[in-house]
Structure 1
Amino acid sequence: MKMKAVQTAALKGFSMGEITLRPFAGDNMMVVRVEAPKGAIAPGHAHPHEQISMIISGNVRFRIGNEERVLGPGEIVHIPSQAEHEAEMLEDSLFLDIFQPVREDFLRKVEEE
């Protein structure tokens, strides 16, 4: 077994609108560095992956189902599988999204860029 270690800012990424996503995958889970400017929106969506998001810097308004909450540095949120959710950046923001299982669609997008 060989160790995989990297600086997240150096990861190859892809854009979704104004948001840059930099995925790092293991065998069964994935971490994605998310870089987003103030005003950027990840529109409402759902996916089969369980997700946890942790804010590093900035403030992000998350909506999961009918619940809404603003999260700042050091705060974390769980998004269940198939839950409809969205995010709005209230400031320039940096956060980590953790997915299980791996989002193969994200890996394909990195290869396409």
Structure 2
Amino acid sequence: MTTFPAVPADPGVTRQVLADSPELMVVAFTFEAGAEGKLHNHVHVQSTYVEAGRFVFTVAGEEREVGPGDSFVIPSDAIHGCRCLEPGKLIDCFTPRRDDFL
């Protein structure tokens, strides 16, 4: 079993790979209040679970506020990003694995 370090992702955001295989990857993102996950897209299908904090997510042009216990799926190639309202942590799963995170 490999242990991955937490690394900077965006200002005020760290990323840590928790588990991976070629078919699936689980990643924790920790956010400071006000930090942003910039708008982006990728071929991977992504599921997001809000472990803690409050966020405003934009997915394919639609905004919604989410908090602890909320989860949703982001389709392949959908433009998405978020803004952290209260310090928190997101648990994201990607299929297939995000090799750019290794």
1:21 corresponds to:
15
Task: Give the TM-score normalised by the residue count of structure 1.
Answer: 0.83
Q: Which has the higher strand share?
A: 2
Query: 43, 53, 58: which one pairs with 1:58?
Result: 53
Gaps of 5+ in 2: none
| Structural mapping, 1:38-57, within 5 Å | 38-57=33-52
Percent of matched pairs sharing the same residue = 32
> Residues 41-95 of structure 1: CA distance to partner in whole angstroms, max 9, x if unpaired?
0111000010000000101110001211111111001100000001100000111
Report the aligned-residue RMSD. Answer: 1.4
Runs of at least 5 residues in structure 1 that lack an aligned partner in the other structure: 108-113
C-alpha displacement of 1:13: 2.2
In structure 2, what residue type is equivalent to 1:13? A
Larger Rg: 1 or 2?
1
- Which residue is equivalent to 2:101? 106
Aligned length: 100
Partner of 1:35: 30
Amino acid at match of 1:14: V
Runs of 4+ residues deviating >2 angstroms: none
